[in-house]
Chain A
Amino acid sequence: MKELSLHILDIAQNSISAGCTRLELSLTDQDGQITLVIGDNGRGMTPEFLASVTDPFTTTRTTRKVGLGLPLLRMAAEQTGGSLAIESTVGVGTTVTARFCTGHIDCPPLGDMAGTVALLVQGAPEVDTIYTHTTPRSSFTFDTREIRAVLGEGISLAEPEVAVWMRGYLEDLEQSV
């Protein structure tokens, strides 16, 4: 994964697969650290599954026995001197927190967050997705409930026209921080 935003796209798919109705993404870039938080109210994991979840040979996929999403994220974070933490409770949800030290030469660029968030929403249009990006200068929150309130009933956030609009809107928001 060449960008932090690609890790976020990948890990948030786990939340969607876990049947969440609410997905909270937060990105804080402060004091030489980028902190990513991916929180959901999906089905959660048992303590046994949680203990082995960053092992590549633990996966929920059925097409093969290897799952690399969380192991790759852990490796990427630890390579910069950062860390990965996962909290999960069955029936409550899961929160993944990754810390990256931005001064480290191995820290990947943030990359295209507007694309990541627009595509997450397009792929799971019914989920309430809330994305907050904070920098020392400024902060914004993108909330699909506000978009749905404008669009009204009957127009899905999966529509290509809406997805292209969301991307442009998110690009403007990213520029503003």
Chain B
Amino acid sequence: MGDEFVKSLEELKAIRDRMQKQVGLRESDENTIRVVVGMATCGIAAGARPVLEAFLEEVNKRNLKDVTVTQTGCIGVCRLEPIAEVYVPGEEKVTYVKLKPEMVPRIVADHLVNRQVVTEYTIGAAE
């Protein structure tokens, strides 16, 4: 293995050490915001992979510890893929449709951080 792989594994150990310190600091499950991205054939063919990557990158960049990003199968409205659902505890689910990676930073900043739904990207605006 070349030097870049040794460096990479050192980075992974650094991530581990950082995260171990944070165990217990994470907010409890009932405060966790969930982002769920549709990753069935319809979503993948429509471009869900870069959208999911953009969510992971933004959540990581902003170090949002109370947000989880997960994947699901077909949400049922294939023509509006790529789709992501956002579940904020105590609030109604918000469904974002026809997503592109460049729309994701705004959803993360406005909705996940500042709790303002990006109405123009929602299924209500698309229909």
Contacts and interface: CB of A to CB of B under 8 A. Distances in A.
Contact of B56 (A63, A122, A155, A169): A122
Q: Is the interface of B mostly helix, strand, loop or mixed?
A: helix
Interface stretch (A31-39, A80-88, A127-135, A158-166): A158-166
Contacts, number: 101
A13 B20 CA distance: 30
B19 A159 contact: yes
A46 interface: no
Contact of A119 (B49, B59, B67, B75): B49
Interface in B104-118: none
Interface residues on B, range: 35 or more
Interface string B25-53: 00000000000000111101100011011
Interface of A: 1, 6, 9-10, 13, 17, 61, 63-64, 67-69, 72, 112, 115-116, 118-119, 122-123, 147, 150-152, 154-155, 158-165, 167-169, 172-173, 176
Given A119-B39, A119-B53, 14 more contacts: A9-B39, A10-B45, A13-B39, A64-B74, A115-B50, A115-B53, A150-B13, A151-B15, A151-B16, A155-B16, A158-B68, A161-B19, A163-B56, A165-B12
